[in-house]
Structure 1
Amino acid sequence: MIKITDSLIKILNFLWKNEKTSLMEISKKTKLEKSTVSRTLNKLKEINLVNKIGETDASPQGGRKTNILSLNYTAGKILGMSVEQDGIEYVITYLNGEVIKKERINKEILEENITEEILKVINQNIDENMYGIGISVPGIVDSKHGIIIHSKALKIANFNLADKIEEHINIPIYIENDSNCGALYFNLNNKKKAKNLLYFHISVPYYIKHSIGIGVGIILKNKLYHGSNNLSGEVEIKHPLLNEKNNITFKDILNYDEKRLLNDGNEFLEFYSEELAKFISIFDPDAVLIGGNITMLPKKFLDTFIKNIENNIFLNDYRKLCISYASSQDFLTSHGAASLILHKLFSTDEGIERFLTTYLKKRG
C-alpha cells in the first residue's frame, strides 16, 4: 500500500496543474529532492496515476533523454450539474476537465422533485471511476454545508441538498451558486486577458409568464467576490421575458421565429439592457459574459440584447470592454461546477488526500 505523504500530495498537485512536466521540473518547482521525486513518481506509475507521454532529445554534448510525464487524467471522472427552473444540464469530465458526455433534461424543477431528479442523473452516470459531483443552483447557497438558503427560482428555502443526496451516494458533493460557477469558469479561460469580470446568469423560468431569474458572478483581480454577507450578485428584478398570460413554456418559445421573438420580447430587451448596463457602468470590468438558458434563444435576439446593453453603458466609448454571450452548447455552469470539484480535490491537501485514499481503496 502506498503511503500518503506531504511530498506525494505536493507532487500530485503539481502534476494536476501542469499538463506535461519532467522529474527535474517537478524537483525545481516543488523544491523537493530529486531522489524523493523519483521515488514518488515510480509509486504513482505503479498505481497508474502517472504516464510517460514522450521524451526530449539528448543534448549535443550527450547525456540521457528526459522523460516527459503527465498525470493520468483518465483515471477518474467528475460529474458537474446545473439545476435551473426549467431543467438540468450536466457534463461528465476527466480529471483535467475534458468533457466526455453532456446532456440537457427539460423539466420543471422544484423543491418537491429536485433531489429525485438529481439522483436520476447521478444513478444513470455513476460508476467506480467517479470521484466527485459539483452542482450549481440559482439563489443564495451555503457552499460549506451544501445548503440552499434561498432560491426563489426553485421555490426553496433552507434546504440541505448535499445531505439529501449523500443519503444515497457516497461521493463528495459540492453545491455552489450558478452565477459563481459561471464566473469561475469564465475567469479560468480568461485570466491572461482580463482580471475583472462580470458574469450574468439569466434564467428563463419553465413558464414564460413568470419573472426572469438573474444572478451576477463577480470576479475582481482574478478572485471571486462573495460580499460581506455572502450575498453579492443576488438581485431580484421582477420582469418576464414575454408578457404571456397562458402557460406557455420556455421550450415552446424556442420554436418562435426571430422576428416574432424580437417583437414580443422588445420590452424585455429595453428593460434588461438598461439594468445590466448599470451594473457594468458601476463595476467597470474588462469583460462581460451572459450565460444561462437565455443563450438558447436565436442569435439575432442575443446580438440585439448585447447592442442595447452597449448603448446604455455610461461613457462606453471610454471603456475597453468586451461583452459577449456563451454558446448554449457550452454548458458553462455545469462545466464550472465540475471545475469547482476538481479544484477542491487537487488544489488542497485535504482534497488530494481524500482522492488518493478513495482511489487506492478502489484498487484494493
Structure 2
Amino acid sequence: MKANKTYKWGMIGCGSVTELKSGPAYQKTEDFELVAVMRRDIAKAEDYAKRHQVPYFYDEADALINHPEIDAIYIATPPDSHEYYALKVAEAGKICCIEKPMAPSYEACSRINAAFEDRKLPLFVAYYRRSLPRFLQVKEWIDQNKIGTIRHIHWNFTKPPNDMDKSKSYNWRTDAEIAPGGYFDDLASHGLDLFVFMLGTVKSASGTSENKLGLYTAKDLVKGQWRHNSGVTGFGSWDFGADKREDVVKIYGNEGNITFSVFGEFPIVLERDEETTSLTIENPEHVQWYHVQNIKAHLSGGIWHSSTGETAMHTAWIMDRILQNKLEVINN
C-alpha cells in the first residue's frame, strides 16, 4: 500500500458502539474518510449520517460495499452477521475491519480469514485493547522481565444482571443463537485476546459453562483454564449474575506481580522487590483511536497491526474450547 493514500471507508451498522468509541476515530484519522453508513432502518441510517456529516447512507449492504469510491469497510453489526457481510467485502476486493468478536464460532472465523487471505486483502478485528497505552505499558513490563518468569495469569470478572436482563427484554448479547456465551462472548473476548497479545498463543484450553439464572438463553456463568505455549497457565471466572461488579487481572511472576482491570480505568500496578509502582493511564476520548491509527500505519507500510483476522481467529478458538466444556490441544 502506498503512503499518503486517502482511504474512503464505509460502515455497516451504526449502533451505539459507533457513536463515540469507533466512528469518529475513522473520521478524524489523517488520510481516512468515513463516506457512507448502512443500517437496515433507513431513517436511523439517515439520522446517523446527518449527525456525523457522512455523505451517503443506505439500508442495503450491497449498495455500500459496491460503492465505487469506497476502499474499505468497517463491519459494526452483531456477530451473527459478521461472516455474511465479511465474505461479501472479500468478494468485492476491499479492506475490512470487523467488530469483535470476529464471529460466533471458530469455524466461521476460519472461513472469513481464509477468504481474505486467498485474496491477499488486509483484515483487521476491533480488539482495540491491544493498541491502548495502558495495556502496552503492562506488556512492556512483561517484556522487560519486571516480574521475572511469568508463571500464571488469573482473571475474575463479575457483574450483576442489568435491568434488561431482569425484565427478560430482548438483547442480542444474551441470545444463544447470536452469542452462545452471552456476555462472555462480548466481554471475555477482550481479555482473552489481550492475554494472548501479552503472553503469546495458547496451546490448550477447557472450561465449564452454564445458565444458572434462566434470565436469557445464553450462558451466564463460565469458568475456563488454559495454557500458553510459553508454559504460562491461566484461569478465568466470569459470573454475570453476581451481586456486584468486579474486574481484576493478576499476572504472577517469580519476582513480582502485575494487577490491572480489563474494562475499568483503574491504575495498573507493578509489585516487585517490596516496591509498588502504580500508574494511571487514561483511555482516549474515542477508545478505538489508537486501533484505527494503527490500521492507517499498517496500510501505509509503517507497522504490522497487532489485531488481524488470524489473531482474532485464535481468540475464537480459545473461547470455543472453554464454552464446549472439553479439553483440546492446538498445534501452533
Q: Which TM-score tier does this pair reach, normalised by the shorter chain? A: 0.3 to 0.5
**What TM-score do you get using the length of structure 1 for normalisation?**
0.35
Structure ID, larger Rg: 1
Higher relative contact order (CA 8 A, sep 6+): 2
**What TM-score do you get using the length of structure 2 for normalisation?**
0.38
